Amino acid sequence: MTTVEKNKQLVIRFNQEFFESGNTAITNELLADVFVNHTAPPNAPTDATVMIHFVVGFHKGFSDVSVQIHEVLGEEDKVSLRKTITAIHTGEFMGKPATGKKVEMNVIEIDIVKNGKITDHWSKNDFMQVVQGL
């Protein structure tokens, strides 16, 4: 398997175990010690803290979380993917009580992988529109 293919598999695994399953401990294995989340909100830490906090809160407020990966592209140390995260709003989330609604969040992300670890992460998503629709 080429390095690019290994990197693609690592990013897919991260999405399945971290985002879909809510396994925050996987960050210790798959994220580099000097990981940078370039999508962190202004004045927030740019390490994995914001992502971990989001996933923990998301899994408290939503059940049946599923990540469907539609495309995975890799070149050199970069992996980009287009995915859809679906879930059912079964608990409080961002101050909104459970609605029972099924939500769908569309995401495009780019990750850099070096020495078998994700070092950098960028993403664009329609998460705020999803929250407004609850």
Beta bridge partners of 118: 31, 113
pLDDT tens digit string along 33-92? Answer: 999 999 999 999 999 999 999 999 999 999 999 999 999 999 999 999 999 999 999 999
Measured distance CA(9)–CA(82) in Å, rounded: 14
pTM of the model: 0.93
The contacts of residue 120 (CB under 8 Å, 6+ apart) are: 35, 36, 38, 111, 112
Give the least confident one: 32-36, 64-68, 107-111, 126-130: 126-130
* Residue 133: per-residue pLDDT: 86
Strands 78-89 and 62-75: antiparallel
For the residues 105-114, what does the mean pLDDT come to? 97
The pLDDT mean for the chain works out to 95
* Residue 131: per-residue pLDDT: 85
The contacts of residue 70 (CB under 8 Å, 6+ apart) are: 81, 82, 83, 84
